[in-house]
Amino acid sequence: ADMMSEHPTVVESDTSIAEAARIIHDTGHNRLPVVEHGRLVGVVTRVDVLGGLVA
């Protein structure tokens, strides 16, 4: 079944990689929507975050 949260966990476009990593870890999500001024502008994944921390 499809599920949507009324208040999804999102990150702003200026969120640091370290902060996104913390949120992904704390929530157990594999991906997070990225928003700017309330509009969806992308998605960041666990793999994206790990790559950013290693680089």
- H/E stretch holding 42 reads strand 39-45
What is the SS3 assignment for 48? helix
Give bridge partners of residue 32 from the DSSP assignment: 44
Query: Residue 7's CB: how many other CB atoms inside 10 A?
Result: 5
Can you give the length of the chain in residues? Answer: 55
pLDDT value at 43 more than 90: yes
pLDDT value at 53 more than 60: yes
What is the arithmetic mean of pLDDT over 8-17?
Answer: 95
pLDDT value at 25 more than 90: yes
The distance of Cα 33 from the centroid of its chain, to the nearest Å, equals 5
CATH architecture under which domain 11-54 falls: Alpha-Beta Complex (3.90)
What is the arithmetic mean of pLDDT over 35-54?
Answer: 93
Q: Which residue has the higher pLDDT, 11 or 52?
A: 11
pTM: 0.81
